[in-house]
Amino acid sequence: MVFSSLLFLFAYLPVTLALYYLIPNTRYRNWVLFIVSLLFYGWGEPLYILVMLASITEAYVFGFFIARHRDANPGRARLYLVLSLGMNLAALLFFKYANFFIENLRLIPFLTDVIAPVEGLKLPIGISFYTFQIMSYTIDLYRRQTDVQKNFVAFGTYVTLFPQLIAGPIVRYRDVDDQLMTRTETFDLFASGVRRFTVGLSKKVLLGDAAAACYEYFKASDAFADSTAGAWMVMIFYTLHIYYDFSGYSDMAIGLGRMIGFRFLENFDYPYIAESITEFWRRWHMSLGTWFKEYVYIPLGGNRAGKWKQYRNIAVVWLLTGFWHGANWNYILWGVYFGLILMAEKTFLLGVLKKLPAFVRHLYALLLIGFGWIIFSFTDASAGLSCFASLFGIGTGTFCTPTVGYQIVRALPLLIIGAVGATPLPKKLWDKFCTVDWTGIGAIRGNGIEEPIRMEKSALSVRGKIFAVLTTAGTLGLLTVCTAYLVDSTFSPFLYFIF
Amino acid sequence: MKNIINILTSALFAAFLLIFTAAFVLTPDADFSEEENRSLTTFPKFTWERLLDGSFSSDINEYFADQFPARDMLVGIKGVTETLLLKGENNGVLLGEGGQLAVRLFDAYKSRLERTPDMDYYYTENIAVSVDALNAFAQSSDVPVTTMFPPRTVDITSSVSDYPTEISDALDVQLAETIVPEAGYIADLRKRMEDLYSHGEYVYFRTDHHWTTYGAYHAYILLMHEWGMEDGILPPEAFTVEKIENFYGTTWSRAGYKFVGPDTLEIWSPGNEDDFTTTCYTEKQVKGEDGKPTVVREVSKSFSGWLNREYLTRKDKYAAFLDGTHNEQTVFHNTETGRPRLLIAKDSFANTMVPFLAQHFDLVIVNLAGRMTDLTEYVEEYGCDRVLIVWNRANLIENNILAAIK
């Protein structure tokens, strides 16, 4: 099930929230969450629910073993850690990558007839996300950074929690372990969740899907092969599409989490305002970056084991990051591409960039990000290459055909809104309104995670009241518009499902 | 009473979800949407198999969208929002000046397989096979053939829309160059309609994909010239015009631009309708005397004139002409005998031409869209003197039915 569907909004969500708040305490509320999350998952993947439950049970049981031995017998604990991680990774490797390896091995002549792809194997939704979540628990446990979770339902709830189950953010266990057993739901948190969810839904439905339609048009029509402008549009609209799709989904996840008392960490921090690729990756899909840093890069020695080892570590992390995104060569290439740029930036590029004007740095980063998305979006290498060549006018008949021109003009408002929306400007304006001291006591504060917007009725000035009413009305208005789009649309692909 | 606004937001959000959910559960499902002129998805059949292969889930999503409370209003909200975002189109329908709706050319590129080395054709396969069949039929036919490919709205509305004409133009070039003279292709039909339209003539509907009765009249004039019968052309004054208001056509249903007003459907009456009878036939399989199944043709409907006025009070008013879609019809004069016979192999664009053509011919009308493609057989059976093919460009591009004519 996806959040941006009528079924989720008008069947699943009301029932879930009603059940959740009808049940009195957190312990039983976890039961509700565990069960509804399994239903959420099972709706799209009725069979693979068993795979997920097996992974959960395995990590839960091994958690006890690791916790028991980690003080007295570290070697033993280590063995259990390796076993547990091994089983988790085996499931991921099998379901996500088996056929990729087999297909590629079959390219070796004498193996062609020896092995065959596993038939009927499709990727269980969200397996890349929940496997990483489970592994964070096992590893943190081994490192004594968290305690064993004795309550199976609480642990199951952590893994299956529907807001982040199928597309992240990848929540580390230690970031939520205390929230699993004790959390307080408040109107402040709930309302800030509603606003966050609405923003995310709007980003996905109004901007992400619209950008996707433009991208699909330019791509499917082969406009990129005909005209240089068409190729640029493919790149630009994919850049917008993937950001609004994915960050919108993260916003919805964070918002839904707040509605049920959870506080998740942020996943995006305006990645497209980065001035270097190093900075981009600190702002894009932060929970994944953190995961790889924490559980791969640093254990390998990070940057403290000498220069060459650091390069090796960067190479490993980016190979894996690329591969994590999909079982196809283009994703590996995409990872390698960023790994190389990051190494170059570490060696000398950042120094050079520092001396250049800011707009050059932005241009540099945006272009490299865009080129990266071309690698990412074309699983067919020759089409990707042709699109890339077209960017520079190689192989295109003309700069722009009338039909491509028409399409660009009509997509221009979307492009402008998308570009502005990807900067912190809207948030800054919002914060400015929020932090104006209308009340004399600074009662309306930022929308940060620890301080959901808060307004004291008694202290509200007239302007504060107007702003508060406008905010509420705007939220409902956006929800209505999004509903309208969902009612009248069948075009709502969700990208990150394939990971 | 702290943070009242957050309580309010929470409560309104809950109310928003609950009101729609409750309305969804409580309102009975509809089978048909008059406004959209299509059947709506009803609750899908549940089987474990369908759940496991995902078809149940996707049907449920459609069911939700189709049966959603206030669907028509929400569809309208989307149309307004898209307009505010300056997109210029919604659901693939262009919004031109004066509320002119036109389906854009999405599929054009898709059907382009390869570029030929010397000519940049945008359209290939369906058109190529259709033209081949048309050429072969025309060259082997014993009676003269005339061919009309009525343009789509988008082909003629460039004066009110910024949608480029390059794809429409390419189609013109391709057709003009590949159709043999024997097919009697009326190449300047699009240009004529475009000229008339750009001069403000009401030749195409704003909300429907068809031409208007007045547009059909101009097509009739072109035909009469083509046939060397220009002396017999009936002037507009020979007809009394009845205006039927509030016609919302198919394009309007698809567009979701609820703020676009209705069209006027004109009935041009020569005053002698009652001298004609329209007869509709259906084919039915029955067991013959020898036990083998044979196809029997029987009369399914017969009425005076060529209009079924019942449709004029419904949404689908265009169906008043010839009683909508029938696979085989004749429009014969009740008393005059020995009139020349015209076989019209057509889609619905021909329906509005009937009042004009019937003044000169007895008409045998077969529905190409219903795969009535054995034209030679009809020519022989009815003793037709001419064949007229009327096949609109959307059909020509989107399917290859015409490729089956013989």
B14-72 pLDDT, tens digit each = 999 999 999 988 888 888 877 777 778 888 888 888 877 777 877 888 888 888 888 88
Domain membership flag for residue B6: no
Domain ranges in chain A are: 6-183, 189-420, 425-498
- Inter-chain contacts counted by CB atoms under 8 A, chains A and B: 154
Smallest Cα distance from B82 to chain A, Å: 9
**% of chain B at pLDDT higher than 90:** 57
Tens of pLDDT, residue by residue, chain A (499 residues): 888 888 899 999 999 999 999 988 888 899 999 999 998 888 877 888 888 999 999 999 999 999 888 888 888 889 999 999 999 999 999 988 888 888 888 888 777 777 777 777 778 888 889 999 999 999 999 988 888 898 899 999 999 999 988 887 899 898 888 888 888 888 888 988 999 999 999 999 999 989 988 888 888 766 666 688 888 999 999 999 999 999 999 999 999 999 999 988 889 999 999 999 999 999 999 999 999 999 999 888 888 878 888 889 899 999 999 999 988 899 999 999 999 999 999 888 888 988 999 999 999 999 999 999 999 988 888 888 888 888 888 877 778 888 888 889 989 999 999 999 999 998 888 776 665 443 333 333 333 333 444 444 445 566 667 777 888 899 999 999 999 999 887 544 444 444 4
**B5 and A479 in contact by Cβ < 8 A?**
no
Return the higher-pLDDT residue of A165 and B287. A165
Instruction: Select from A6, A46, A402 the Cβ nearest to the Cβ of B64.
Output: A6
B343 shares a domain with B290: yes
Band (pLDDT 50/70/90 cuts) for residue B270 is very high
* Domain match, B300 and B152 both: yes
Surface-to-core class of residue B275, CB atoms within 10 Å of its CB (0-12 exposed, 13-18 middle, 19+ buried): middle
The number of distinct structural domains making up chain B is 2
The answer to whether residues B199 and B284 belong to one domain is yes
Q: Enumerate long-range contacts of A182-189, CB under 8 Å, 24 or more apart.
A: A182/A26, A183/A26, A183/A261, A183/A262, A184/A261, A185/A21, A185/A260, A185/A261, A187/B3, A187/B6, A187/B7, A187/B10, A188/A452, A188/A453, A188/A454, A188/B3, A188/B6, A189/A258, A189/A259, A189/A261, A189/A263, A189/A452
Higher pLDDT, A490 or B203: B203
B 155-214 residues with CB below 8 A of A? 162-167
**Does residue B84 belong to any structural domain of this protein?**
no
Nearest CB neighbour to A483, from listed B1, B74, B163 = B74
Same-domain status, B134 and B37: no
> Under a CB-based contact definition with an 8 Å cutoff, are residues B252 and B207 in contact?
yes
Q: Are residues B46 and B176 in the same domain?
A: no
Q: How far is CA B98 from CA A44, A53, B207, B293, in A?
A: 45, 60, 11, 55
- Residues B372 and B314 reside in one and the same domain: yes
Are both B121 and B247 inside the same structural domain?
Answer: yes
Structure confidence at residue B120 (pLDDT): 44
pTM of the model: 0.87
| Cβ(A482)–Cβ(A252) below 8 Å | no
- Of A43, A223, A456, nearest to B3 by CB-CB distance is A456
Q: Is residue B85 part of a domain?
A: no
The reply to whether B345 falls in a domain is yes
pLDDT of residue B123: 62
Chain A residues with CB under 8 Å of B163 CB are 406
* pLDDT of res. A71: 84
CB contact under 8 A, B8 and A472: yes
pLDDT in tens, A430-462: 776 665 443 333 333 333 333 444 444 445 566
Omega within 30 of 0 (cis) for the link into A124: no
pLDDT at B122: 57
Residue type, A196: R
* Higher local confidence (pLDDT), B70 or B203: B203
Q: How far is A132 from chain B (nearest CA, A)?
A: 26
Contact A472 B5 (CB under 8 A): yes
Burial of B116 (C-beta count, 10 Å sphere; 0-12/13-18/19+): exposed
A 402-431 near B (Cβ less than 8 A): 402-403, 405-406, 409-414, 417
d(CA B235, CA B231): 10
Enclosing domain of residue B42? 20-69
The CA-CA-CA angle for residues A165, A289, A66, to 5°, reads: 65
Please report the DSSP string for B76-112 in residue order: HHHHHHHHHTT-SEETTEEE-GGG-EEE--SHHHHT-
The verdict on A489 touching B (C-beta cutoff 8 Å) is: yes
Domain assignment present for residue B360? The answer is yes
What is the structure's pLDDT at B317?
A: 92
Query: Which of B158, B318, B165, B321 is closest to B251 using CA atoms?
Result: B318
Task: Count the neighbouring beta carbons within 10 Å of the beta carbon of residue B38.
Answer: 13
Question: Higher-confidence residue: A192 or B198?
Answer: B198
Per-window interface: A 139-198 vs B, CB < 8 A: 187-188, 190-192, 194-195
Tell me, yes or no, whether B117 and B63 share the same domain. no
> Quick one: pLDDT at residue B218?
96
**B22 is written with which tokens?**
């409750």
Q: Is the domain of B308 the same as that of B194?
A: yes
| B291 interfaces chain A, CB cutoff of 8 Å | no
- Looking at the structure, tell me whether residues B54 and B114 fall in a common domain: no
B62:A11 CB<8 A: no
Residue pLDDT, tens place only, A216-230: 888 876 666 668 888
Interface residue A451 vs chain B (CB under 8 A) = no
Domain closes at, from B39, B69, B99: B69
B249 is a domain residue: yes
Kindly list the residues from chain A whose CB atom is less than 8 angstroms away from the CB atom of residue B64.
5-7, 10-11
- B304 falls within a domain: yes
Q: Are residues B215 and B343 in the same domain?
A: yes
> Is A6 in the B-facing interface, judged by CB distances under 8 Å?
yes
Active site residues per annotation of A: 325
CB-closest option in A13, A457, A483 to B1: A457
Inter-residue contact B288 to B294 (CB < 8 Å)? yes
**B14 interfaces chain A, CB cutoff of 8 Å:** yes
Same-domain check for residues B63 and B156: no
